[in-house]
Structure 1
Amino acid sequence: MHFKLFLFIFFFSILSIQGQNTYVKTEHGLKAEIDSLVIELQFYTSKNVRVLKSKKGFDFEKNSLSVIAEPKQIEFKIIDADAHTVTISSDDLIVALDLVSGVVSFQDIKGTSLLKEKSNGSHLDPKMDVNEPSFRVKQEFQLDKDEFIYGLGQFQEGKMSQRNQKLFMRQDNKETVVPIIQSNKGYGVFWDNYAPTTFYDNPEVTSFDSEVGELIDYYFMYGKNADGVVKQIRTLTGEAPMMPYWTFGYWQSKERYESQEETVGVVKKYRDLGVPIDGVIQDWQYWGDNYNWNGMTFGNPEFPDPEKLTKEIHDLNAHIIISVWASFGPETTPFKTLKDKNMLLDFTTYPERAVNYWPAKPDDPLAGVKVYDAYNPEARDIYWDYLNKGIFSKGVDGWWLDSTEPDHLDIKDKDFDTQTHLGSFRKVRNAFPLMTVGGVYKHQRETTSDKRVFILTRSAFAGQQRYAANSWSGDIVSNWKTLENQISAGLNFVSAGIPYWNTDIGGFFAWEYPEGIKNPSFQELYVRWLQYGAFTPMMRSHGTTTPREIYQLGERGDWNFDAVEKFINLRYRLLPYIYSESWQVTSNASTLMRPLFMDFSEDTKALDLNDEFMFGKSILVAPVTEAMYTEGKNDSLATFDKTGSRKLYLPASTEWFDFWTGEKFNGGQEIEKEVPIDIMPLYVKAGSILPLGPKVQYANEKLGPIEIRIYPGADAHFTYYDDERDNYNYEEGAYATIEFTWDDSKNKLTVSDRKGDFKGLPKNIEFKILKVQDKNSSGIYPSTTKTNFLYTGKSKTLRIK
Structure 2
Amino acid sequence: MGFNFNEIFMIASLKKCVAPILTVLLACTLFFSVAAQDSGPGYRVTAKGVTVIPARQQGGVSEVQLEVITEKIIRVVAKPRQQLPERPTLSVLENLPATPAFQTENSDAVVKLKTASLIAAVDKNSGQVSFTDLNGKTILAEDPAGRQIQPAVFEGQPLYSVTQTFLSQPAEGYYGLGQHQDDLFDYRNQQVKLWQNNTEVAVPFLVSSNRYGILWDNYSLTTAGNLRAYQPLSALQLTAKTGEKGWLTASYANNRNHPDQVALTRAESVIDIPYLNDSKRILPADFKVAEGQVAWEGKISTAMEGMQQLRFTYAGYIKCYIDGQLMLDRWRQAWNPGSGVVDLDWKKDSQHDIRIEWIPDGGESYLTCRWLPPTTAQAPSTFGFSSEAGRQLDYYFVYGSSIDEVIGGYRLLTGKAPIVPRWALGFWQSRERYKTQDEILSTVKTFREKKIPLDNIVLDWSYWKQADWGSQEFDASRFPNPDSMIKVLHQQYKTRFMISVWPKFYEGIKAYEDFRAKGWLYPRNIADRQRDWIAQGYISTFYDAFNPAARQGFWNLIHDKLYTKGVDAWWMDASEPDILSNVDPGRRKDQMVGVHLGTAAEFLNAYPLQNAKGIYEGQRGVDPDKRVFLLTRSGFLGSQRYGATIWSGDIASRWTDMKAQISAGLNFSLSGLPYWTMDIGGFSVEKRFEQPNATDKKEWQELMTRWFQFGAFAPLFRSHGQFPYREIYNTANEGEPAYNSMLYYNKLRYRLLPYIYSLAGEAWLHDKTLMRALVMDFPDDETARQVGDQFLLGPSLLVNPVYTYGATERNVYLPSGGWFELETGKFLTGGQTIKAAAPYERLPLYVRAGSILPTGPALLYSDEKKADPVTLNIYAGADADFTLYEDDGLHYQYEKGAYTTISFHYDEASRTLTIGDRNGSFPEMLKNRIFRIRVTRPDQPKPLVFDDASDRSVRYSGKQQTIKL
Q: How far apart are residue 725 of structure 1 and its match?
A: 0.6
Which residue of 32, 48, 56 corresponds with 2:52? 32
- Counterparts of 1:744 and 1:152, CA distance in 2: 40
Deviations 1:464-487 (A, max 9, x none): 110111100010000110000100
Q: Say whether 1:404 aligns with 2:404.
A: no
Identity %: 38
1:342 aligns with 2:519: yes
Q: Give per-residue Cα distances to partners, 1:441-492, cap 9 Å, x unaligned.
A: 1111111133200001100001111011110001000011000010000100
Of 387, 392, 415, which aligns to 2:563? 392
Quote the Cα distance in structure 2 between the aligned partners of 1:182 and 1:421: 32
Partner of 1:111: 136
Distance 1:163 1:333 in 2: 51
Which residue type is aligned with residue 951 of structure 2? K
Compared CA separation, residues 797 and 24, structure 1 to 2 (3 A)? same
Q: Against the structure 1 CA distance between its residues 352 and 265, is the aligned structure 2 distance closer, same or farther, given a 3 Å change threshold?
A: farther
* Deviation of the 1:17 alpha carbon: 11
- Match of residue 865 from structure 2: 702
Q: Write the letter of the residue equivalent to 2:844.
A: P
**8 Å contact 1:17–1:84 — kept in the other structure?**
no
> Residue 796 of structure 1 aligns with which residue?
961
Q: What is the aligned partner in structure 2 of residue 535 from structure 1?
A: 713
Measure, in 2, the Cα distance between the counterparts of 1:788 and 1:167. 53
Using the alignment, how far apart are the partners of 2:551 and 2:600 within structure 1? 17
Q: Is the 8 A contact 2:542 2:579 kept in 1?
A: no
TM (normalized to structure 2)? Answer: 0.77
1:400 maps to amino acid: W
57-66 or 315-324, which deviates more: 57-66
C-alpha change, 1:219 and 1:74, in structure 2 (3 Å) is: same
Aligned residue in 1 for 2:175: 150
- Against the structure 1 CA distance between its residues 55 and 781, is the aligned structure 2 distance closer, same or farther, given a 3 Å change threshold? closer
Q: Given the alignment of the two structures, is residue 182 of structure 1 paired with residue 202 of structure 2, yes or no?
A: no
- One-letter amino acid of the structure 1 residue matched with residue 171 of structure 2: D
Mapped pair 1:223 → 2:223: no
- Alignment-mate amino acid for residue 874 of structure 2: I
Cα displacement (A) at 1:171: 0.5
In structure 2, relative to structure 1, the CA distance for the partners of 1:648 and 1:416 (3 Å cut) is: same
Name which of 485, 488, 495 aligns with 1:312: 488
Q: Is the 8 A contact 2:825 2:942 kept in 1?
A: no
How big is the shift at 1:72?
2.0
Where does 1:58-97 land on structure 2 (aligned, <5 Å)?
Answer: 58-68=83-93, 69-70=95-96, 72-80=98-106, 82-97=107-122
The whole-number CA distance in structure 2 between the counterparts of 1:278 and 1:596 is: 30
Shift in CA distance, 692/24, structure 1 to aligned 2, threshold 3 Å: same
Is the CA contact (8 Å cut-off) linking 1:380 and 1:436 kept in structure 2? Answer: yes
Q: Gapped runs of 5+ residues in structure 2? A: 9-25, 227-374
Q: Superposition pairs for residues 668-683 of structure 1, below 5 Å?
A: 668-683=831-846
Q: Does 1:256 align with 2:425?
A: no
Cα deviation, residue 782, structure 1: 7.4
Give the equivalent residue in structure 2 for 1:204: 381
The question of whether the paired residues in 1 share the 8 Å contact of 2:701 and 2:732 is answered with no
Match of 1:371 in 2: 542
SS in 1 for 2:951: strand
Name the CA distance, whole Å, in 1 between partners of 2:136 and 2:37.
23
Distance 1:598 1:690 in 2: 19
Structure-1 residue corresponding to 2:614: 439
Describe the SS at the equivalent of 1:243: coil
Q: Distance in 2 between matches of 1:244 and 1:427?
A: 35
| 1:735 maps onto 2:927 in alignment | no
Q: Determine the structure 2 residue equivalent to 1:472.
A: 647
Aligned length: 770
- Aligned-residue offset at 1:790: 2.4
AA in 1 matched with 2:799: V
Alignment deviations for residues 20-48 of structure 1 (CA, whole Å, 9 cap, x no partner): 31111111001122335121111111111
Tell me how far apart the structure 1 counterparts of residues 530 and 620 of structure 2 sit (CA, whole Å). Answer: 33
Once the two structures are TM-superposed, the CA of residue 691 in structure 1 deviates from its matched residue by: 0.4
Superposed displacement of residue 18, structure 1: 12
**TM-aligned CA distance change 1:429 to 1:4, over 3 Å:** farther
2:405 counterpart SS class: helix
Q: Which amino acid aligns with 2:642?
A: Y
Output one character per residue of 1:173-211: Cα deviation in whole Å (capped at 9) or x when no partner: 011000110111111001111110112326622121111
The aligned residue for residue 604 of structure 1 is: 782
Letter in 2 for 1:613: F
- Whether the 8 Å CA contact 1:774–1:782 is kept in 2: the answer is no
* Unaligned residue ranges in structure 1 (runs of 5+): 358-363, 630-643
Distance 1:774 1:781, change over 3 A: farther
Q: Which moved more, 1:559-568 or 1:194-203?
A: 194-203
Structure 2 counterparts to residues 210-359 of structure 1, below 5 A? 210-289=387-466, 291-315=467-491, 316-348=493-525, 353=531, 356=534
Alignment equivalent of 2:915, drawn from 737, 751, 776: 751
Structure 1 counterpart of 2:320:
none
Deviations 1:557-611 (A, max 9, x none): 1111111100000000010000011100000000000011100112111001111
Give the Cα–Cα distance (whole angstroms) in 2 for the partners of residues 449 and 394 of structure 1. Answer: 17
Is the CA contact (8 Å cut-off) linking 1:124 and 1:136 kept in structure 2?
Answer: yes
Q: 1:764 aligns with which of 894, 907, 928?
A: 928
* Distance (whole Å) between structure 2 residues aligned to residue 197 and residue 531 of structure 1: 35
Write the letter of the residue equivalent to 1:317.
K
Could you give the per-residue CA deviations for residues 638-687 of structure 1, whole angstroms, max 9, x where no partner exists?
xxxxxx211100001x1111101101111100111111112111111111
Structure 2 equivalent of residue 666 of structure 1: 829
Q: What TM-score do you get using the length of structure 1 for normalisation?
A: 0.93
- Contact 2:650/2:682 (8 A) holds in 1: yes
Query: Partner letter of residue 382 of structure 2?
Result: V
In the alignment, residue 483 of structure 2 is paired with which amino acid? E
Alignment partner, residue 361 of structure 1? none
The 5-angstrom pairing of residues 494-513 of structure 1 reads 494-511=669-686, 513=688
Instruction: Report the Cα offset of residue 128 of structure 1.
Output: 1.1
| Mapped contact 1:5–1:59 kept (Cα < 8 A) | no
**Structure 2 CA distance for aligned equivalents of residues 468 and 790 of structure 1:** 36
Q: For the residues of structure 2 that align with 1:223 and 1:444, how far apart are their CA atoms? A: 35
The 2-side partners of 1:582 and 1:59 are apart by: 42
1:402 and 1:457 in contact (8 A); partners too:
yes
Counterpart amino acid of residue 73 in structure 1: T
Q: What residue in structure 1 maps to residue 360 of structure 2?
A: none
**Secondary structure of the residue that 2:688 maps to in structure 1?**
coil
How has the CA–CA distance of structure 1 residues 516 and 587 changed in structure 2, closer, same or farther, with 3 Å as cutoff?
A: farther
Q: Which amino acid letter does the alignment assign opposite residue 528 of structure 1?
A: R
How far did 1:781 drift? 5.5
What is the SS of the residue equivalent to 2:660? helix
- The range that moved more, 93-102 or 779-788, is 779-788
